[in-house]
Chains A and B, each alone.
Chain A
Amino acid sequence: MNNFKKLNTIIAVLDIENIDTDQIIGSDHLKITNKIGLGEHLFSDWRYLANGKDNLDFVLNKSATKNARVLVAGDNFGCGSSREHAPWALLDFGIEVVISSSIADIFSNNSIKNGLLPIQVSKEEHQFLLSKNAKPIEINLTDQRIICDGKEMTFLIEPFAKHCLLNGIDQLDFLVSHLPKIQSYEKEKNMQELAHEI
């Protein structure tokens, strides 16, 4: 997993509430058995016209914002299906940070495991950022700080998620490091001892 410390980029604003993971990546694209090439299908129903050409009105197709690496989206981003294909698609496209006034639980969990930073900000800050399409933004995870258009904002992040993102740590390694405790839990519950371990 890549680590995340600091990012200077521009904002793409997608001011729609309750963007579900079906919109981020449609079920047509869940038929793969790897993680390759999902960025092409990110927001595909919105990004492409019926004839397959780019919808030039869509924010990620506009020249000012198509290289944005921060997406500021409406409230409750990432609701619905648990598909991890959603953060895979965003990252493959080049989005590294998603900011909203709330972010759905499973999407948020999935994002952190892949190095995509989900940031929840206050309603006021959210309104401010929603008005900053195509504006530069600086995101500093170490200090938990956002700077945009002269305004400095801090954000909260779960300490373990921060630690993993900053250091590119795979959460599986954290679990594996507790193997003796897993073994004693299983023993306490009278589970059969394993011939092999990890």
Chain B
Amino acid sequence: MVKTLFDKIWQQHLVVKESQETPAILYIDTHLIHEVTSPQAFQMLRDKNLKLRRPEKTFATCDHSTPTTKANDSGEFTFFGKQEKQQVEQLKENCEEFGITIFPLGDKKQGIIHVIGPERGITQPGQTIVCGDSHTSTHGAFGALAFGIGTSEVGYTFATQCIPQRKPKTFGIEINGELKKGVTAKDVILAIIEQIGIGGATGHVIEYFGSTIKNFSMDQRMTVCNMSIEAGARAGMIAPDQTTFDYLKDREYSPKGDEWTKAVNQWKSLFTDQEATFDKHIQIDASQIDPMITYGTNPQMGIKIGNKIPIKNEMQSLKYMGFSEKESLVGKAVDVVFIGSCTNSRISDLRDAASIFRDRKVADNIRALIVPGSHEVKKQAEDEGIAKIFIDAGAEWREPGCSMCLGMNGDIIQEKQICVSTSNRNFEGRQGKGGRTLLASPMTAAAAAVNGVITDPRSLI
């Protein structure tokens, strides 16, 4: 029987098939956790006197509530408040109590959970991966079935290594053609979300394929899969290929020796059969995509950077943003630029941004915050001389974490400020109460930082 990539992984993980009355029971290979959505799940184990079934399949880090400033000489961090400190400390204690591997604050392997999972080789093709975080879809870039869950399901996974699931539908998004210069993976996914809408993939798992995807690096594939949830998708995935295998070879948790050869052979079977069909299917011409930017309060409200805000009866959103229909965004003043988040904080994102910052300065009165996704990314950027470009330009070069994507650690923007951000959500107040977020690629964000106004990055290449 012909199968999609999704079907293959789904079937390999069925402990119990679904019936009319009950959902399927799906086995989970890898469980990633962080400090915000796990404490109540640990408490559930204690309340019910349950053990954590497979501690070796769970990996933890703290990223949301962590400061992006350095520790002092005694290794102490300054937290935004007591609650943030408590969350971070409690995660460490919980992991010790239940025997979970943690990459804690201060550790050189710490970083955003969706950056370090792949980086450490924990994320592998064919796996089922869950995390109490909607951007878990990122890991689908490796041909894994990876999705966000709530805290109850974090607890279920702790106790049984399984979750109940109804089988989602499939959505094939085929992207062919060559991208224009200055157009990135971020622009591709923003264009897709603009086209299908914020609820366009609800109930579906997206598979991205086509020549554009094939030519993408793992970093670029992760950016695309990361934002699948912004179209409502359960997950986003891409079939593994040589690019995937090359990325994973010799990583800390990747299989080694004969096990590696065996694993790659098995991973090579993970693709959608030629005859298989999706419940929904669209095609995108990559050559038609321009740098994208959002003008509203959800990720579907995006335009090509040179276009005007459309007439779509989005008055409440436009009022919040302080924009009007038929208005152009290019040339509008910006207050803050944020380059980071699980969407765009990997080394290739930083290289893209550095290509714009090189020999230029951050414009007067602009705060530019650059937050690498992990310590490994940070070190690489420092070794490559990229960090020096940022610092010389006058940007703030920070320690890793989620930072200003959602401002839980105190990295926030002020009321009415306009922030061009490489993160994934422009919801009202997301980066700080009353703050206004415009989502864009690292190049477009960097261009706004150096010009002080919204700028087509192609004018600076």
**A interface residues with partner B (beta carbon < 8 Å):** 16, 18, 20, 22-23, 26-28, 30-35, 45, 75-76, 79-84, 87, 102, 104-106, 109-110, 113-114, 158-160, 163, 171-172, 174-176, 178-179, 181-182, 185-186, 191, 194, 196, 198
Contacts and interface: CB of A to CB of B under 8 A. Distances in A.
A79 B433 CA distance: 19
30 contacts: A18-B199, A20-B427, A22-B428, A23-B428, A26-B433, A27-B407, A31-B36, A31-B65, A34-B43, A76-B199, A79-B232, A80-B229, A81-B133, A82-B132, A82-B149, A82-B150, A83-B150, A84-B150, A104-B199, A106-B150, A110-B152, A113-B152, A158-B166, A171-B152, A172-B44, A175-B164, A176-B159, A178-B25, A182-B15, A198-B51
Contacts of A196: 51
Nearest to A163: B21
Contact of B159 (A34, A194, A198): A198
Given A20-B298, A34-B40, A106-B148, 8 more contacts: A26-B433, A31-B36, A31-B84, A82-B133, A104-B199, A110-B151, A182-B160, A182-B161
A30 to B, nearest CB: 5
Contacts of A198: 50-51, 53, 159-160
Contacts of A18: 198-199, 298
Interface residues of B, number: 65
B16 interface: yes
Contacts, number: 165
B62 to A, nearest CB: 12
A131 B80 CA distance: 44
Contacts of A102: 199, 202
Interface of B: 15-16, 20-23, 25, 27, 36-37, 39-40, 43-44, 48, 50-51, 53-54, 64-65, 81, 83-84, 86-87, 90, 132-134, 148-153, 155-156, 159-164, 166, 168, 198-199, 202-203, 229-230, 232, 234, 298, 316, 406-408, 425, 427-430, 433
B39 A33 contact: yes
Contacts of B25: 175, 178, 181-182
Nearest to B81: A31
A172 B164 CA distance: 9
A126 B134 CA distance: 27
A150 B433 CA distance: 42
A22 to B, nearest CB: 4
Contact of B162 (A28, A45, A82, A182): A182
A178 B163 CA distance: 11
Given A22-B429, A104-B232, A163-B21, A82 B148 contact: yes
